[in-house]
Structure 1
Amino acid sequence: MNALSKTLRDALDRDDAIALLRGAISHESITGNEANVVGYLDQQMRKRGIENLDTIDFLPGRPNISGTRKGAGNGRRLLFIGHTDTVHVDGWREHWAGDPREDPFGAPIIADEIWGRGAGDLKAGICTSLAALTLLDRAGIRLKGDVDFAFVGDEESGQPGSGVSAGVKAHTARIASGDLPRPDFVVYTEPTRLAVYPAQIGFFIADITITGKSAYFGVPELGHDALKASHAVMSALWAHSDTISARAEHALVGKGSLLITTLNGGGFIAVPERCTLSLIRKLLPGESLDSAAAELECVIRGAITDPKITMEITYPAGRDHALGGTATEIDSDHPALAMLGSAVASAMPGRGGVEGAPFWSETPFFVNGLNIPAVYCAPGDIRNCHTFEERVSVEEYLAGVVAFADFMTRFCGVEGN
C-alpha cells in the first residue's frame, strides 16, 4: 500500500460508504423504473458536492442523471458512468423464504457481504465512485481536473420494450453535440472484482424462422419438412461455430463462438411446417458485425437444400449497431490503465490486473462511437449477478472506494502539486 492509499484508507468513513450502497440497493430500479433510484442518487450527489446536476428523461418517466465535481483547473477530465437499472427479481422471495435475504431490496450484510438485487450489477460501482469523492474531501485533497458522473438507464435486457441502451445513447448524443463536455477517459462501473477490462466481446442475437409446408403424416411426400431443414441448419451452425473458434483467439476475451439457444417447432401428427431457432454470436475485437452476420446468413442458406423451404432472419438486440453490440478494445499502453491498475493494487493487493470482459456493456458508445478510451472496473462479481446469489464483498467494495479516490488523484492531478 502506497502512502496516499494508506492516507485514504485511514480517512475512509466505512459506515457512510456502506450506508450509501445499502440505500441504493433498497431503491428498486428494475428496467423501466430507473426514476426510483435516480431520486436517491440526486440526493446523494448533492450531498457529496457534485454540481450542475441534470436529470433528463431519455424516455418518458425514465431519467438519466449526471453532474460534475469541479476541480481547481489545469487537469484532465474523468467520467464515471454506470447503469441504474437492474434485472427482475422473479422467484427471489420464494428462493430465500424465511431467510434474511428474502427481501431482494433489503440489503442485509451476511458474512461481510452485502446482498440484494443490483448489489454487484452495478450499484456497488456507482456508489464506489460517489463515496470516493467523500473520501477525497475527508483527506483534504482537491483535484485539478473535473470528474463527471453519469448514471443512465435501459442497459439491462429482459423487460418488454426496453433494454436497448436508450439511456447511454441519449447521454453520448449530448457529448457528441457539445451539450456536455468531452471526457479524456471513462470508467464504466460494471463489476470486475476490481480487475481492469480494456477489451470486451461483441455480440448479436439472430432469430431464424424456417417455413415449409405441412402434410398429413400418411402422405409426408406432399409436405416440406421445416424440422428436418432446421436439423440441417443447426448442424451447419455448429460446424460454423467450430470454424469461428479455430479462426482466432484474443489474449483477453478468448475465442469467438456461436451458441444456439432455443429451438421450437413441430407438427401435430403432420409434417412440421414451421420451426424457429435463436442463437447468439460472440465477436472478438476487430471483427465486423456486418460481415459476421452476412457469413451466418450464407451458412444458413447453404444448409437448406429444399427449394420450397423459406428462411427469415431478424436481429432483435441492436445496441450501438443495428444488429447488436460491437466489440471494443483500447490501447494496452494507455497510461490510464497502469494508473488505475496500480491504484487498485495499492488498495487491495492481488487485484487491479488487466483482463477482458466476458460480457457486453456500453463502453462501445464511447470507444467506437466517440473515440474516447474507456474501461470497466468496479467491485462485484459478474458470475453472481442476475442470480439469487447477487452480493458484493464489503472488503472489496471499500477497497474500491480507496482505489477510485487514488485513481482520481493520479489522473486528474492534485491542487498544489
Structure 2
Amino acid sequence: MTVESDLFGRLRAALDGDAAIDLFRGAIHRDSITGNEANVVAYLADAMRKLGLSDVTTADFLPGRPNVWGERKGAGGGKRLLFIGHTDVVHVDGWRENWAGTEREDPFGAAIVDGAIWGRGAGDLKAGITSSLAAMALLDAAGIQLAGDVSFAFVGDEESGQPGTGVSAGIKDYVARMEAGEVERPDFVIYVEPTQLAVYPAQIGFFITDITITGRSAYFGVPELGKDALRASHAAMSALWKHSEVISARAEHALVGRSFLLITGLSGGGYIAVPEKCELSLIRKLLPGESLDQAAAEIEAAVRGAIDDPDIAVDFSYPAGRDHALGGTAAEIDAGSPEVAMLSQAIGSALSGRGTIQGAPFWSESPFFVNRLGIPAVYCAPGDIRNCHTYNEHVEIEEFLAGVIGFAAFMARFCGTVD
C-alpha cells in the first residue's frame, strides 16, 4: 500500500459524513444576506471553537458586520495554509414563490433533494466554508497531527446585490490586519469559491462603467433646438461594440479566454420631446496583465470620439471599486506550481475527474492576496457557480464530502504531518 492510498484510506474510514453535512446545513440555515453577516459569523465562531481552533476572533469591519478568523497551530516546521471565503449571500427575492408548496420553499431550509443540499448560499459559498472546517475535524478524527498551521478566515461584503454594500469591506479589513502584523501571513491561500472541485489558479478582472450622456431637451415640433442624447447614445454604443471586438482580438488567455465588454443597460428618453439625458452601463472583462486604468481610458476615448458635439456632455463613473479604485484586478499564479499540482492531486484522489486546472469566469477576492500581498492563491471548493444566485442553488452531497476529504489530504500534504 502506498503512502497516498494509506492517507486516503485513513481519511475515508474516519469521515463522519452526517456531522459534516449537519455543519453545512446549519450554515445555510443562517440568513446572511449581505449586511447580515453577523448571523452566520456567530454560528461559525461557535463551530470553530468546538473544533478547538485557537485565537478565534470576531471583529467588525463595519458597525454590526463582523469577520471571524482562527487557526490550528501545528507542531512546528511546516508551511502555513489559509482557507478563506465570504459569509454573505445574495438576496432571496422570488425564491419562495418559485418553490411554493415544495420542500425547497424556504431559501434557508437546506432541504436535501435528490442527493443534493439546496438553499441560498449553499454553493456561494457555505459548502466551501464548512468543507474546510470539516476537513480539519476529519484530520483530528483520523489522528493526523499537522506540522504546519492551518488558518481560517471568513469575511463579509463580497456580494454586491444590496444598496451601499459589496465593496469587499470585509477582506480589506482582514488584509490590512495582515499587513499590520496582527494576523500572520500564510504561504498559500485557498479561497473557497465554488469550482465543482476544479482548481482555479487564474481569474478574470472587471470594472463597471456608468455613462451619462446629457444633451438639451426641445419640443418635438422643433427638434433643431435640442441636442438628442438618445441619438448620441446610439453612436456611443456602436463605438463600444466595435471596441469590444478590438480588445477581444488582442489576446487569448489559456484559462480565462478573451477580453470583451458588455453593455448591460440603457435608459433615457423624453415625453414628446428631444431626449435630454441617456444613461448607459457596461461591464468590461480583463485578462491577467491588463491595466484597469488603461482599459477605462480606452473606453472613455471611444465614447468621446463617437460623440463629437461639444454641446453634449459625457460623464463616466465607476461604482464597483474592489482591490482597485475602478474595479477588481485580474490575477493568476503559476498553474504548474507544486502547490497547485498537490491540490489538484488531492482533490482528484478524493473524487475521480475533479481537481482539473481551470480559470475562474468570475471575479472574487484572491487578488487581495496575489496582487496586493504577493501570496499565491487559488479558488477551489464544492458547488457549481452556474446555479449560484439562482433559485436552483444546490450542492451535490457526494461532491461536498469529496471536498472534505480532498481538503484534509491537502492540509496533510502541504503542511506536513507529525508521526
Fold conserved between structures, TM > 0.5: yes
Could you report, residue by residue, the CA deviation over 1:313-361 in whole angstroms, capped at 9, with x for unpaired residues?
0000000000000000001222110010000000001000100000000
Equivalent-residue separation in structure 2 for 1:306 and 1:269 (angstroms)? 23
CA distance in 1, matches of 2:252, 2:130: 35
In structure 2, give the amino acid aligned to 1:100: E
Q: Determine whether 1:54 maps to 2:54.
A: no
Give the root-mean-square deviation of aligned CA atoms.
0.7
- State yes or no: 1:235 paired with 2:238: yes
CA distance in 2, matches of 1:194, 1:3: 22
Aligned counterpart in structure 1 of residue 199 of structure 2, from 196, 200, 205: 196
1:392 aligns with 2:390: no
3-state secondary structure, aligned to 1:32: coil
List aligned pairs for 1:249-260, cutoff 5 A: 249-260=252-263
Alpha-carbon offset, residue 43 of structure 1: 1.0
- Cα distance in 1 for partners of 2:154, 2:322 equals 17
Q: Per-residue CA shift, 1:1-44, capped at 9, x if unaligned?
A: 83311221111000000000000000110000000001100111
Aligned equivalent of 1:332, options 322, 331, 335: 335
Partner-residue secondary structure (3-state), 1:383:
coil
Q: Aligned partners of 1:43, 1:222: CA distance in 2, in Å?
A: 68
Give the aligned partner of residue 317 of structure 1: 320
Structure 2 counterpart SS, 1:182: coil
For 1:410, the aligned partner's letter is R
**Which position in structure 2 is the counterpart of 1:118?**
121
Q: In the alignment, which residue of structure 2 is the partner of 1:79?
A: 82
Please list every run of 5 or more consecutive structure 2 residues that lacks an aligned counterpart in the other structure: none
Question: Aligned partners of 2:185 and 2:309: how far apart in 1?
Answer: 55
2:356 aligns with 353
Q: Tell me, which stretches of 5 or more residues in structure 1 are unaligned?
A: none
Aligned to 2:274: 271
Q: Partners of 1:273 and 1:149 in 2: how far apart?
A: 52
What is the CA–CA distance in structure 1 between the aligned matches of 2:408 and 2:308, rounded to whole Å? 61
Alpha-carbon distance, 1:98 to partner:
0.2
Query: Secondary structure, in 3 states, of the residue corresponding to 1:16?
Result: helix
Q: What is the aligned partner in structure 2 of residue 186 from structure 1? A: 189
- Please, what TM-score do these two structures have when normalized by structure 1? 0.99
Residues in 1 aligned to 2:383 and 2:34: alpha-carbon distance in whole angstroms:
20
Where 1:174 maps in the other structure, the secondary structure is helix
Task: Confirm or deny that 1:129 pairs with 2:132.
Answer: yes
TM-superposed CA distance for 1:106, in Å, is: 0.5
Q: Which amino acid aligns with 1:128?
A: S
Structure 1 SS opposite 2:148: coil
Distance in structure 2 (CA, Å) of the matches to 1:274 and 1:385 = 35
Task: Give the partner amino acid of 1:293.
Answer: A
| Distance apart, 1:49 and its partner CA | 1.4
Matched residues in 1 for 2:5 and 2:309: separation? 69
Does residue 366 (structure 1) correspond to residue 369 (structure 2)? The answer is: yes
Partners of 2:318 and 2:9 lie apart in 1 by: 50
Cα distance in structure 1, aligned partners of 2:135 and 2:379? 17
Q: Which amino acid aligns with 1:156?
A: E
What TM-score comes out, normalization by structure 2 length? Answer: 0.99
Q: What SS class does the counterpart of residue 162 from structure 1 fall into?
A: coil
Q: Are 2:16 and 1:9 equivalent residues in the alignment?
A: no
**Within 5 Å, which residues of 2 pair with 1:25-174?**
25-174=28-177
Corresponding residue number in structure 2 for 1:290: 293
Deviation string, structure 1 residues 46-92 (Cα, Å, up to 9, x no partner)? 11111101100000000000001111000000000000000000110
Equivalent residue letter for 1:269: I
- 1:209-228 correspondence to structure 2 within 5 Å: 209-228=212-231
Q: Give structure 1 regions of 4+ aligned residues with deviation exceeding 3 angstroms.
A: none
Percent of pairs with identical residues: 71
Question: Aligned partners of 1:332, 1:36: CA distance in 2, in Å?
Answer: 37
